[in-house]
Amino acid sequence: MEIREWRRLAIQSIAFFVVVFVSGLGFSQRIQQQLEIGVHAEDYKESRSQKTVFPQEKKEAPTVATKALVEERSDTYIKIPKEAIASPAKVYLQNRYMDFQVIVTFQGVARGGIDSGDILRVRGYHVSSGRISKKDPAFRKIEVVDQRERDLQKNSVQLRFTLKKAYEPILFESDEAYYISLLAARKAHEKIVVVDAGHGGMDEGTSSANRKYQEKDVVLDVQEKLSRLLEKTDMTVYYTRTKDEEVSKKDRTRLANGLQADLFVSIHCNALRGGSNTFGVETLYAGKAPRYGKLENKELADVILNQVVASTDMKKRGTIKRNDLYLLRHSKVPTAIVEIGYMTNQDDMSLMKKEIGQQKIAEGIYRGIMNAMK
């Protein structure tokens, strides 16, 4: 217990130092890299595969379009006339969907370079700017944030839009204006899957018998392999976390529900202290019928269990009804938790820590999802 407390303190002080150090630059990616050096055991870090670029980290450049096309594609959109901004060096959009936030950065624009009065909200024939009414169907908040850098050329102005619903944003530009088109995610995509790597950050989940391996890392590694399989399909996949960070169960569930996802799969590991002979795969589901989607929870739990077992040759423990778990209780879409193995069992752990084992588990989950989406 004491050692854990020490470690927690150490991590917190590293985090604090790093935050203070790079806050002037304001990039969380840097913080993440610094933190990982302190957190992971050396041998395990080496075995970790190369990071995939996940949608949340992507910087989307504007696509050229006419105003008519923007209107056709949007439930609502933002228009910023180009004459209102001194020509930016670079413009890009980031979709922070976990926070229901869309961020557009105008790089090379000086402080105060964008007036909030020039940010026009358009819905049909209705155009507004300035204060947002509480009844606004799309926008909760719009912030204009000046980002100062040491190199003045890199000064930028960020527009941060906090939304009330899950939208799929696209940044467009025409000769006259920049447009941020917002279309309800459920309309924008035919197939939506939410993948959830359990735990993260200070919440480490469970661990191996010798406490060398932590659940939060194993499930993230499996997710990375799963993501590479899923990116080759026609499904749109959202991840509740893509790095070692803490995400609340509420936010995880909110994403799946907000998207009205076709299915929601949460990846976890089991453990039984003093029960090293307990091993195998199980999936968990809630007994209630999902509000959205075409699948029963039990069907999803069954198909994922069967496919993971087939892919890994691990022991099939079965599907278990759990109406008490937050994620299962609050999800309104077809949902299953897959417990990929027991970290306290040597054979399960040895499979889960190796690249090849993680790949097999990922393939099993992938086939389960593919079957469920048929």
78 versus 301: smaller Cβ distance to Zn ion? 301
Q: Which residues of 1-20 are buried (b: 16+ CB within 10 A; e: fewer)?
A: eeeeeeeeeeeeebbeebee
By the criterion CB under 5 A, which residues form the site for Zn ion?
Answer: 198, 205, 268
Which residue in 136, 130, 167, 323 sits closest to 258, CA to CA? Answer: 167
Which residue's Cβ has the minimum distance to Zn ion?
268
| Widest CA span in the chain | 70
Q: Alpha-carbon torsion 338, 343, 344, 348, what sign?
A: positive
108 versus 201: smaller Cβ distance to Zn ion? 201
18 versus 340: smaller Cβ distance to Zn ion? 340
Least distance CB 282 / Zn ion (angstroms): 12
C-beta of residue 102 within 8 angstroms of C-beta of residue 77: no
198 versus 341: smaller Cβ distance to Zn ion? 198
197 versus 314: smaller Cβ distance to Zn ion? 197
Give the rounded distance of the alpha carbon of 223 from its chain centre. Answer: 11
The owner of tokens 């090379």 is 108
94 versus 283: smaller Cβ distance to Zn ion? 283
Least distance CB 108 / Zn ion (angstroms): 45
Query: Could you give the CA distance from residue 322 to residue 238 in angstroms, rounded to a whole number?
Result: 24
Residue 138 tokens, joined: 């799309």
Residue 237 tokens, joined: 């996949």
C-beta of residue 249 within 8 angstroms of C-beta of residue 264: no
